[in-house]
Structure 1
Amino acid sequence: MSAITFVVETLLSLALFVVLARLLLQWTRADFRNPLCQAVVRITNPLILPLRRVLPPIGKLDTASVIAVLMVAVLDVACIFALHGVGFPPPLLWLRAVLGEIARTLLWTYLSAIFLYALLSLIAPGGYSPLQSVLGTVCE
Structure 2
Amino acid sequence: MSNNYFTNPLVFLIETAFFLYMILLALRLLMPWARWDYHHPISQFIVRFTQPPLNLLRSFIPAIGRLDTATLVLLIIVTMIKLLLVSMLFGYLLGPMALIQRSIAEIFSLFITLFTVTILIEVVLSWITPPGSHNPAANLIRRLNAPLLEPVRKKMPSTSGLDLTPLVVVIGLQLLHMLVLPLLLLGL
Q: Structure 1 length normalisation: TM-score?
A: 0.92
After the TM superposition, which residues 85-124 of structure 1 pair with which residues of structure 2 at under 5 Å, given as runs? 85-89=91-95, 91-124=96-129
Q: What is the Cα deviation at residue 126 of structure 1?
A: 3.9
Larger-Rg structure: 2
1:64-113: per-residue Cα shift (whole Å, max 9, x none)?
A: 11111111111111112111112232x33222210111011111111110
Give the percent of matched residue pairs that are identical in Structure 1 and Structure 2: 27
The SS at the match of 2:134 is coil
Is the CA contact 2:18–2:82 (under 8 Å) kept in the aligned structure 1? yes
Deviates more, 1:108-117 or 1:59-68: 59-68
- Within a 5 Å distance, the mapping from 1:1-140 to structure 2 comes to 1=6, 2-89=8-95, 91-124=96-129, 125-140=131-146
Return the alpha-carbon distance in structure 1 between the equivalents of residues 81 and 32 of structure 2: 23
Distance 1:126 1:110, change over 3 A: farther
3-state SS, counterpart of residue 137 of structure 1: helix
Q: Which amino acid aligns with 1:108?
A: T
Partner of 2:155: none
Cα separation, 1, equivalents of 2:17 and 2:36: 25
The count of corresponding residues between Structure 1 and Structure 2 is: 139
Partner of 2:152 in structure 1?
none
| Cα shift at 1:26 | 2.3
Task: Give the CA RMSD over aligned residues.
Answer: 1.3
Post-superposition offset of 1:51? 1.0
Q: Which residue of 1 aligns with 2:171?
A: none
| Structure 2 CA distance for aligned equivalents of residues 48 and 11 of structure 1 | 18
Q: Which runs of 5+ in 1 are unaligned?
A: none
In 1, are the aligned partners of 2:29 and 2:67 still within 8 Å (CA)?
no
| TM-score in terms of structure 2 length | 0.70
Partners of 2:32 and 2:66 within 8 A in 1: no
Counterpart CA distance in 1 for 2:33 and 2:50 is 16
Q: 2: distance between equivalents of 1:95 and 1:133?
A: 35
